[in-house]
Structure 1
Amino acid sequence: MPITVGVMGMKSVALRAASVFTHPAPPHDFLALFNPLSSARQLRGVVTAVRPETPQSTTIAFRPGNGWSPHDAGQWARIGVEIDGVRQWRSYSLSAPAGSDPEITVTACGKVSAHLAHETRVGDIFFLAPPQGDFVLPTGPRPLLMLTAGSGITPVMSMIRTLVPRRPDADVVLIHSARDRESTLFATELAELSEQYDGLHVIHRFTGEDGRIDFSDAADLDALCPDWRSRKTYVCGPSEMLDAAESLWTNANLPDTLTVERFATATYAEVDGATGGTVTFEKSDREIEADGTTPLLEVGEEAGVLMPSGCRMGICRTCLTPLLSGQVRDLRTGEINATEGDLIQTCISAAAGNCHLDV
């Protein structure tokens, strides 16, 4: 009687046979010597293009390995990069259109972003986490207003690149603020797109010359986009701009038509004499001395631990990690938590003595 072996069974047999030759390393690790994107434990991507955008900003395209989920326009992803032998993780909006290989556009601000913007080369390897986020396009056609400032244009650029060339009924007004013309991201491409497609109208606001948009009342917005009240609006930029826009839309009884993307750290309470301790990352087998003011998320990332994270400001709860023992401090309130088994938010918690985390 013939024996039938399924595809999964054949794969399992092949892996066991290969392990004879790769022992003590598993076959996946041996394969990674020849294909750096092949890893059963960590999603990776290889840099395929590096394009300067401004003197301080760079677009980096990469090809992800198996396990990457195609992104929706406007989403972000966590990117890991090795710096001085330590794996650093940060979250970046994806600027490429949906359905294409991902890209990030990075402005040199901070250690990791500066490294990516100035030191990345074609062929470099990124460590990746799948894209996420709900700052995405509406499901049906409707007029849109995009309010952006500085690098806040990055997720919106993904939306524009996705929507405008593919939808003849697109109706998008983009109002983008930048310090000056030289620091304006995607200026040439936006000019070409607005020239080619009637559905895109671009307004640049150079704050060094024109000042910032005043959201204390509707006068500035009425002048820039008279029909803003009838549009679905997306806003991304500095916290002050987002807060002011939310207030204006609330006062206009239109809060449901506004979608905000925030990239800001949490506000921490001042705690005099806060002491830290030894943080043990149990699953990663790492022990790190930490002060009492640095978020545990950053402590782990600096030590090369793969830490779950999302918003990095205490909202999305993606970073929840079990506290196995010890105690931590909520950096927003100063409250101490010493309850074993509690899920703590590592992005807004610091060591308050020795502690053990299940990561």
Structure 2
Amino acid sequence: MTAIGDSPLARRVRAAATRFTTPLLPDDYLSLVNPLWSARELRGRIVSVTPEAEDAATLVVEPGWGWTFEHSAGQYIGIGVQIDGRFVWRSYSLTTPPSRDGRRLVVTVRAMPDGFASHHLVHGVEPGTVVRLAPPQGEFVLPEPLPGKVLLLSAGSGITPIMAMLRTLDRRHGSGSLADVTVVHSAPDADRALFAEELDLLGRRHPGWRIVQRHTSAAGRLVLTGSGADGEMLEDVVPDWRERETWACGPAAMLDDAEKLWADAGNADALHLERFAASFGAAAQEGMTQGGTITFARSGRTVESDGATTVLQAGEEAGIPMPFGCRMGICHTCVAPLRTGAVRDLRDGTEHRVADTDQSSQTVQTCVTAAAGDCTVDL
């Protein structure tokens, strides 16, 4: 699909306009007419904000010129929203199948306790707000054809990519699909459960789907490893879990337990995980006593940063355009050359260092590393 702003005619018009608008670019004038008309960056306009729970909302975004991307259910997009004069970027799973005309992007955001951007998107952003966008990414997708037996396991806001998968299957196969799909979703209570009514409806529409909605305040957590003293065992809820290709998304502790369980069962290849954040352990705590000055060479800016703030976060907070993707050290979209100094990987404490006298550099992942002293990054 070719967006109107990307047609050959539109490109010729912009090229001709450039000759008459220098030193300003056509984008500078077009943006005055319509903020979505930009060839420099991907933009979108928030069409609606619908509360889903006390701490969650669904945002519908209409992309502007340049958005020609198709996505698969389970993938995520980047959204950059301006807060206090600077753009803050976060990644959110798309919660619906690709629209037939490609003109609607839908995400459901939960306001996290310390989530600066998520709180703004849930409680502060208004319809009509123009945001920046990053293309769809992610490997957390269902294959075609679907495996014979599927388990979709989620907790909290981990239901968002799972919901996109279920809606896609529902649209693709229609009501009465006999696909063998088991869904187990855990939420703290009914007030914080996302998509509860729709999940019930999908369960009634599809005889081959078994959808289990759990409230941990009453039933306890879903126990994947250890004993069932603290809640229900997965074995009791899904006795045939070993036979199912599984997609799981939720809190880091749940996903860590799932990795161990499937590995111990010798079935690690049947488990597919989607993490919303990198797991920073002792290395992050150690970094709290370090830090330094990060110099962004191409941008010509310096930032004082502590040892627990990633280079990516430090750059974004300073208003520097930073490449990013998954924000958890998986996709390698955020890699940048480290010219001098040292950074520490917050996942395992590994230090990457380049001496001042070294003529070479090494690439580092800015989303999972923090300054370990003064350093220079080629961004």
- If the length of structure 1 is used for normalisation, what is the TM-score? 0.90
For residue 313 of structure 1, give the secondary structure of its aligned residue in structure 2: coil
Tell me the CA shift for residue 146 of structure 1: 0.8
Is the CA contact (8 Å cut-off) linking 1:276 and 1:350 kept in structure 2?
Answer: no
1:150 to 150, 156, 166: 156
Counterpart residue identity of residue 175, structure 1? V
Return the alpha-carbon distance in structure 1 between the equivalents of residues 344 and 23 of structure 2: 42
For residue 347 of structure 1, give the secondary structure of its aligned residue in structure 2: coil
Aligned to 1:171: 180
1:240/1:36 Cα in 2 relative to 1: closer, same or farther (>3 Å)?
A: same
Return the alpha-carbon distance in structure 1 between the equivalents of residues 30 and 39 of structure 2: 10
The total of aligned residue pairs comes to 351
1:52/1:25 Cα in 2 relative to 1: closer, same or farther (>3 Å)?
A: same
Q: Does 1:328 align with 2:343?
A: yes
For residue 333 of structure 1, give the secondary structure of its aligned residue in structure 2: coil
Tell me the CA shift for residue 355 of structure 1: 3.1
For residue 33 of structure 2, give the secondary structure of its aligned residue in structure 1: coil
For residue 367 of structure 2, give the secondary structure of its aligned residue in structure 1: helix
Return the alpha-carbon distance in structure 2 between the equivalents of residues 271 and 296 of structure 1: 13
Aligned to 1:108: 111
Aligned to 1:307: 322
Return the alpha-carbon distance in structure 1 between the equivalents of residues 267 and 141 of structure 2: 19
Aligned to 1:85: 85
Tell me the CA shift for residue 227 of structure 1: 2.6
- What is the correspondence of 1:49-64 to structure 2 with a 5 Å cutoff? 49-64=48-63
Deviations along 1:224-246, whole A, 9 cap, x unmatched?
22332222111111111112122
- What is the correspondence of 1:188-199 to structure 2 with a 5 Å cutoff? 188-199=197-208
Return the alpha-carbon distance in structure 1 between the equivalents of residues 187 and 289 of structure 2: 40
Aligned to 2:244: 231
The percent identity for this pair of structures is 46
Return the alpha-carbon distance in structure 1 between the equivalents of residues 15 and 352 of structure 2: 49
Q: CA RMSD in A?
A: 2.3
Q: Does 1:97 align with 2:97?
A: yes
Is the CA contact (8 Å cut-off) linking 1:56 and 1:108 kept in structure 2?
Answer: yes
Q: Does 1:209 align with 2:218?
A: yes
Q: Does 1:267 align with 2:281?
A: yes
Aligned to 1:347: 367
Range 339-348 or range 79-88, more displaced: 339-348
Return the alpha-carbon distance in structure 1 between the equivalents of residues 33 and 49 of structure 2: 23
For residue 17 of structure 2, give the secondary structure of its aligned residue in structure 1: helix
Return the alpha-carbon distance in structure 2 between the equivalents of residues 344 and 272 of structure 1: 20
Tell me the CA shift for residue 11 of structure 1: 6.0
Range 317-326 or range 46-55, more displaced: 317-326
Is the CA contact (8 Å cut-off) linking 1:190 and 1:202 kept in structure 2?
Answer: yes
1:68/1:356 Cα in 2 relative to 1: closer, same or farther (>3 Å)?
A: farther
Counterpart residue identity of residue 73, structure 2? A
Tell me the CA shift for residue 271 of structure 1: 4.5
Counterpart residue identity of residue 292, structure 2? G
Is the CA contact (8 Å cut-off) linking 1:276 and 1:352 kept in structure 2?
Answer: yes
Counterpart residue identity of residue 335, structure 1? E
Aligned to 1:245: 258
Aligned to 2:3: none
Aligned to 1:3: none
1:162/1:223 Cα in 2 relative to 1: closer, same or farther (>3 Å)?
A: same
- Which runs of no fewer than 5 residues in structure 2 stay unpaired? 1-6
For residue 293 of structure 1, give the secondary structure of its aligned residue in structure 2: coil
1:316 to 311, 316, 331: 331
Tell me the CA shift for residue 209 of structure 1: 0.4
Counterpart residue identity of residue 111, structure 1? F
Counterpart residue identity of residue 342, structure 1? Q
Aligned to 1:73: 73
Is the CA contact (8 Å cut-off) linking 1:87 and 1:305 kept in structure 2?
Answer: no
- Which runs of no fewer than 5 residues in structure 1 stay unpaired? 1-6
Return the alpha-carbon distance in structure 2 between the equivalents of residues 276 and 105 of structure 1: 36
For residue 18 of structure 1, give the secondary structure of its aligned residue in structure 2: helix
Is the CA contact (8 Å cut-off) linking 1:165 and 1:197 kept in structure 2?
Answer: no
1:120/1:273 Cα in 2 relative to 1: closer, same or farther (>3 Å)?
A: closer
Range 313-322 or range 86-95, more displaced: 313-322
Tell me the CA shift for residue 145 of structure 1: 0.9
- What is the correspondence of 1:128-139 to structure 2 with a 5 Å cutoff? 128-139=133-144
Q: Does 1:46 align with 2:45?
A: yes
Tell me the CA shift for residue 311 of structure 1: 3.1
Tell me the CA shift for residue 121 of structure 1: 1.8
Aligned to 2:168: 162
